[in-house]
C-alpha cells in the first residue's frame, strides 16, 4: 500500500513541477442546456489547434490547463448545435457555456459513447451508453419503455429469459451487477417479476453500463456497474411529459423553484391492468407503482445541492388468501463544492432499502425481509494538468440484513412469532484513479481501490467443528448440514470477521491513427454481499447475505483487449472486444439446499470458483435515415466447486459445469428507419443459445415410488430463444416544437408468435403412462399502442 501511495504522490509531484515550469492557465466551468439549465454529462470541449480536449463530468463540470495563448474552442454534444468561439487564455478563466438543442429532426446516433474522434484515444473501454430517446424507440412487451430490456440488446449483456428479473453481464449472475440510481444502490431492478424495470425513462438523464475496465471509484460487485443519473429539472420554466399505455401510464413534471437557481422534478408511473380483472371474474391483483423526485439548488458559483429519491412498490395477490408486496426506497443528499478551478468535490449521504412482505391469510401469518444501508461518499476530481487528472475519494456503508420475520396475522392464528437473526456489516473503501496522457498516441488510466469489510456482531452465531458448516457423508457420498456444537453471542460493536482487499485497475489506449485505436484493461473487484437464490434469475423472495465466518467474498480478475474504429466520416463505428475473467469464492449450493427462512444458511453453501471468456462485436450505423446496430457475443461461462479434500466429490463430481447464464451465441440487430417526418419504423431481432438446464435421463422404482435420475448439472439446454419486435411511431405535428406535442407508438412484440421456452418440466401422461416433456412459454405475439405527450 505505501509503495502505491508513494507512486501516486511522485506522479502528482512530477506533473505539478512540469506545469509550474511553464506558463499555463486553466479554463473551467459548467456546460448546460440553454433551454432548461440541465447540466450535460460527457460534453466534448475540444481545442482543434492543438488536438486536445476534455469532457464534462457527472455534474457538467470541466477543467483544462493549457499554455498561455489564443485558441479556438469547439464544444459539441449529441443532439445540440456545436459552439465554436475564440478564447484568449492569458489568465485563469471560469466560463460557463450553454448549448442549444437542435430543433430539426436531424440524424442522431442511437448508442452514444461520444463518437467524436477524441474518444478513440481515451483508455476507457467496455462501456456502453444509451439515451432516453433510444430506450423509448425500442419495441418492447406491452409498449412500456424499459431500461433493462434495452441494455440486453448490447453485446455481453443478456437476461435469463422472458419475465426474468435482472440482467447478466459477461456470464455473471444478476446479483453481481451494481445498479446505481443517483449513486444509491437498487437491489431489485424489476417490476412484476421482470415484466418491467424500475426505471422511468422520462426521468433519466444519463445511463452508462461498465462491463470491464471499471474505474476505481466503483466497487462492491464483480460483473458490472449500471450507473444511472436522473434529470435535475427545468430551472427556467414549467414542463410536463408522459405516456398512456394499455397496461401502464407515466407522468413527469419539472420546473423552477427559483428561476435559474433551483428546480424540481416529480415523476410517477403506475400499472392498472388489474382493474379489468373483475370483468373476467378474477379476484386477483397485480400492479406496480413508483415515484421519482429530485430537488436541485445552486447556492452560488461554487456550491450546489441536490436531494433525490425513488420509491417503488409491487403488489401481487390471489383473492383473499395471499398478498405479496416488495420494492425499493432510496434517498440521496448531495453537495457539490468547487475548491478551485482545478479541484471539484461531491459529498453524498445515501439511504437505500429493499423490502419484501408476504401475507398468507389462509394460514394467518405475515412474513417480511429486506436489506438496508446507509452510505457516506466523498469524491474528489483534481484536474492537475491537461495530461494528468487525479480522482480520489472514500466511502463507508453500514448494512442491516433482515433475513426474515414471521408474525401471526390474527389472535386466532396458531403461528408463533419467529425472527431469523439479523446480520450487520460495515464496508469501507478508499480509491485513487489517475488519467495520464503519455503522448499523442498513448493514454493510461490506472489506480487502485482498497476495500475492507467488517462483519459485525449479532445475537447468535453458530459454531461448528473445524469451522465447517457443511460435512461430506462418505457412506452416502453426499453433502449434508453440519450440526452446530454451540452458539455465541456478540455485541454489535464486536467484529466477527474482517476482510481486506486491494483492487488494482489499469486501462491503456494506443491510437493507431485518428480513427483507430487498440485498448487493453485489467481490473480486480471484490464483492462482499451475496444474493441467495437457486433460480436462474432473482425473485423477490431471495435474500441478501453478507460475507463472514463461513461465506467468503467473491474476488474477480478480468482482462480485456479491444479494437475500436470510426470510418466513413463517423457514419459507421466498430468495437471488437475479447475478455477473460475468473472469480474466486463463487457460492454454490449442495443438492437439495433450502434457502427460504433458513437461519443457518451456511449449512447449504460451499465456496467454488467461476470463469467466463468471450468475444464481443458491436457494429453501428450512426447517420442517415437508417440507423442502428448489430451486436454479437460468443462466450462461455462455467462454474466449479471441487471437493475440499481428496475424499470429497465436490458439486457435480467436482467437474466444471455451465452456469445458468451461459449463452454461447447471442445476436441482436436493432434498426431505426425514418420513413418520413411523421412516421418512424423501429425493430429488433434477438437470437440466443438456449439456457443451460438439467434434464432427467432415467428413472427407477423405490418402494413403489418412481424416482427420476438426472444428468450432470446444467448439461442440457432449453431450445434456442429468438423473436422479432417492431414498432411504428407516428408524430402528427413533427415540426411543432412549442406548446403541446404528442406522438403515438404502435408495436408488436414477438411478431411471428415464437413460443420460447421459459422452462421444460417432465411428467407421466395419465392416459398412456408414458413420460412427456411440458414446455412453459410466457409470451406469444403481443400488440400494443401507447400515446405520449409533452407540454
Q: Per residue in 590-632, pLDDT tens?
A: 888 888 888 889 999 999 999 999 999 999 988 889 989 999 9
pLDDT at position 21, please?
Answer: 53
User: What is the mean pLDDT of the segment spanning 427-436?
Assistant: 96
Question: CA angle, 48 as apex, 44 and 54 as ends, to 5°?
Answer: 30
Phi then psi for 339, rounded to 5 degrees? -70, -35
Confidence check: pLDDT of 108 > 60: no
CA distance 668 to 375: 37
Q: What is the pLDDT of residue 539?
A: 67
Q: Give the pLDDT score at 4.
A: 53
The predicted model gives 248-259 an average pLDDT of 94
Instruction: Report the DSSP beta bridge partners of residue 605.
Output: 589
Measure the CA–CA gap between 690 and 725, rounded to whole angstroms: 19
Band (556; pLDDT cuts 50, 70, 90): very high
SS3 790: strand
Q: Could you tell me which residues come within 8 angstroms of residue 275 by beta carbon, excluding any fewer than 6 positions away? A: none
* Over residues 372-397, mean pLDDT: 94
Lowest mean pLDDT among 402-406, 411-415, 548-552: 411-415
- Average pLDDT rounded to a whole number, residues 5-9: 54
pLDDT band at 104 (very low <50, low <70, confident <90, very high): very low
Mean pLDDT of all residues in 204-213: 92
Rounded CA-CA distance 500/553 in Å is 10
Percent share of the chain, pLDDT over 70: 94
Q: What average pLDDT score do residues 316-345 get?
A: 91
The helix (run of H) or strand (run of E) holding residue 135 is helix 132-137
pTM: 0.91
- pLDDT given at position 540: 64
Q: What is the mean pLDDT of residues 520-534?
A: 93
Mean pLDDT for the stretch of residues 392-398:
96
**Rounded to whole angstroms, how far apart are CA atoms 730 and 125?**
36
DSSP classification of residue 466: G
Give the mean pLDDT of 53-74. Answer: 89
Give pLDDT, residue 117. Answer: 39
Higher pLDDT, 536 or 593: 593
Q: Is the pLDDT of residue 35 over 70?
A: yes
End-to-end CA distance of the chain: 55
**What is the reported pLDDT for 10?**
55
Which pLDDT does position 113 carry in this prediction?
38
Each residue of 113-122: pLDDT tens digit?
Answer: 333 334 777 8
User: How far is 472 from 598, CA to CA, in rounded Å?
Assistant: 20
What rounded mean pLDDT belongs to the chain?
Answer: 88
Q: Tell me the three cell numbers of residue 326.
A: 416488495
Average pLDDT over residues 254-273: 92
| Count of helices and strands (H, E) across the chain | 3, 53
Which pLDDT belongs to residue 103? 57
Closest to 248 measured CA to CA, from 195, 294, 205: 195
Q: Can you tell me which residue has the cell 485497475?
A: 505
Which pLDDT belongs to residue 106?
37
What average pLDDT does this structure show over 473-479?
Answer: 89
- Assigned C-alpha cell, 352: 437505500
Amino acid at each position: 500500500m505505501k509503495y502505491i501511495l508513494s507512486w501516486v504522490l511522485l506522479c502528482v509531484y512530477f506533473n505539478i513541477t512540469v506545469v509550474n515550469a511553464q506558463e499555463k492557465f486553466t479554463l473551467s466551468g459548467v456546460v448546460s442546456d440553454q433551454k432548461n439549465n440541465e447540466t450535460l454529462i460527457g460534453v466534448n470541449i475540444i481545442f482543434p489547434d492543438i488536438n486536445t480536449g476534455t469532457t464534462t463530468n457527472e455534474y457538467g463540470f470541466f477543467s483544462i490547463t493549457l499554455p498561455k495563448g489564443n485558441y479556438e474552442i469547439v464544444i459539441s454534444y449529441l443532439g445540440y448545435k456545436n459552439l465554436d468561439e475564440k478564447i484568449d487564455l492569458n489568465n485563469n478563466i471560469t466560463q460557463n457555456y450553454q448549448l442549444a438543442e437542435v430543433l430539426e429532426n436531424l440524424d442522431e446516433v442511437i448508442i452514444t459513447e461520444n463518437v467524436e474522434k477524441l474518444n478513440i484515444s481515451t483508455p476507457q473501454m467496455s462501456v456502453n451508453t444509451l439515451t432516453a430517446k433510444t430506450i423509448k424507440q425500442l419495441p418492447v412487451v406491452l409498449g412500456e419503455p424499459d431500461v433493462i430490456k434495452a441494455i440486453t440488446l448490447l453485446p455481453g449483456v443478456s437476461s435469463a429469459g422472458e419475465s426474468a428479473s435482472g440482467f447478466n453481464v459477461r456470464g455473471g449472475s444478476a446479483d453481481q451487477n451494481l445498479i446505481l440510481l443517483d449513486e444509491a444502490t437498487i437491489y431489485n431492478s424489476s417490476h412484476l417479476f421482470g415484466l418491467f424495470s424500475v426505471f422511468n425513462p422520462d426521468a433519466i438523464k444519463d445511463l452508462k453500463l461498465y462491463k470491464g475496465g471499471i474505474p476505481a471509484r466503483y466497487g462492491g460487485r464483480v460483473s458490472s456497474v449500471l450507473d444511472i443519473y436522473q434529470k435535475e429539472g427545468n430551472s427556467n420554466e414549467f414542463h410536463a411529459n408522459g405516456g398512456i399505455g394499455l397496461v401502464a401510464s407515466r407522468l413527469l413534471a419539472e420546473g423552477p423553484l427559483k428561476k435559474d437557481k433551483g428546480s424540481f422534478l416529480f415523476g410517477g408511473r403506475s400499472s392498472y391492468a388489474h382493474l379489468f380483472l373483475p370483468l373476467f371474474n378474477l379476484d386477483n391483483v397485480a400492479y406496480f407503482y413508483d415515484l421519482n423526485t429530485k430537488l436541485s439548488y445552486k447556492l452560488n458559483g461554487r456550491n450546489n445541492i441536490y436531494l433525490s429519491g425513488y420509491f417503488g412498490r409491487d403488489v401481487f395477490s390471489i383473492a383473499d388468501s395471499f398478498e405479496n408486496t416488495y420494492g425499493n426506497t432510496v434517498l440521496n443528499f448531495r453537495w457539490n463544492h468547487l475548491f478551485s478551478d482545478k479541484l471539484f468535490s461531491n459529498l453524498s449521504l445515501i439511504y437505500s432499502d429493499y423490502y419484501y412482505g408476504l401475507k398468507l391469510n389462509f394460514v394467518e401469518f405475515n412474513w417480511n425481509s429486506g436489506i438496508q444501508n446507509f452510505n457516506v461518499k466523498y469524491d474528489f476530481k483534481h484536474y492537475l494538468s491537461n495530461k494528468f487528472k487525479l480522482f480520489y475519494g472514500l466511502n463507508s456503508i453500514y448494512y442491516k440484513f433482515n433475513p426474515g420475520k414471521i408474525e401471526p396475522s390474527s389472535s386466532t392464528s396458531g403461528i408463533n412469532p419467529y425472527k431469523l437473526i439479523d446480520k450487520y456489516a460495515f464496508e469501507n473503501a478508499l480509491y485513487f484513479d489517475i488519467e495520464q496522457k503519455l503522448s499523442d498516441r498513448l493514454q493510461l488510466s490506472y489506480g487502485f481501490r482498497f476495500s475492507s469489510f467488517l462483519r459485525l456482531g449479532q445475537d447468535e452465531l453458530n459454531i461448528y467443528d473445524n469451522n465447517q458448516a457443511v460435512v461430506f457423508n462418505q457412506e452416502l457420498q453426499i453433502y449434508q448440514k453440519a450440526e452446530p456444537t454451540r452458539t455465541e453471542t456478540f455485541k454489535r460493536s464486536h467484529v466477527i470477521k474482517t476482510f481486506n482487499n486491494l483492487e488494482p485497475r489499469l486501462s491503456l489506449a494506443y491510437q493507431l491513427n485518428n480513427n483507430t485505436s487498440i485498448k487493453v484493461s485489467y481490473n480486480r473487484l471484490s464483492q462482499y454481499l451475496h444474493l441467495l437464490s437457486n433460480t436462474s434469475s432473482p425473485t423477490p423472495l431471495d435474500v441478501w447475505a453478507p460475507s463472514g465466518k463461513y461465506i467468503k467474498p467473491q474476488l474477480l480478475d478480468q482482462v480485456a483487449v479491444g479494437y475500436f474504429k470510426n470510418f466513413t466520416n463517423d457514419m459507421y463505428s466498430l468495437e471488437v472486444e475479447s475478455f477473460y475473467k475468473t472469480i474466486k469464492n463463487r457460492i454454490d449450493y449442495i443438492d437439495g439446499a433450502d434457502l427460504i427462512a433458513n437461519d443457518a444458511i451456511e449449512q447449504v453453501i460451499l465456496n467454488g470458483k467461476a470463469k467466463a471468456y468471450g468475444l464481443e462485436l458491436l457494429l453501428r450505423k450512426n447517420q442517415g435515415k437508417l440507423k442502428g446496430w448489430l451486436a454479437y457475443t460468443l462466450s462461455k461461462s462455467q462454474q466449479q466447486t471441487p471437493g475440499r479434500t481428496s475424499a470429497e466429490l465436490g458439486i457435480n463430481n467436482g467437474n466444471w459445469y455451465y452456469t445458468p447464464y451461459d449463452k454461447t451465441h447471442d445476436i441482436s440487430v436493432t434498426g431505426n428507419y425514418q420513413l418520413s417526418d411523421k412516421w418512424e419504423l423501429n425493430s429488433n431481432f434477438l437470437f440466443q443459445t438456449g439456457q443451460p438446464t438439467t434434464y432427467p435421463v432415467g428413472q427407477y422404482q423405490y418402494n413403489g415410488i418412481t424416482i427420476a435420475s438426472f444428468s450432470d448439472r446444467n448439461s442440457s439446454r432449453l431450445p434456442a430463444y429468438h423473436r422479432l419486435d417492431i414498432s411504428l411511431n407516428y408524430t402528427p405535428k413533427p415540426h411543432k416544437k412549442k406548446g403541446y406535442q404528442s406522438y403515438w407508438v404502435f408495436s408488436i412484440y414477438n411478431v411471428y408468435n415464437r413460443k420460447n421456452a421459459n422452462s421444460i418440466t417432465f411428467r407421466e401422461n395419465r392416459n398412456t403412462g408414458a413420460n412427456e416433456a411440458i414446455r412453459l412459454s410466457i409470451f406469444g405475439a403481443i400488440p400494443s399502442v401507447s400515446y405520449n405527450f409533452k407540454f
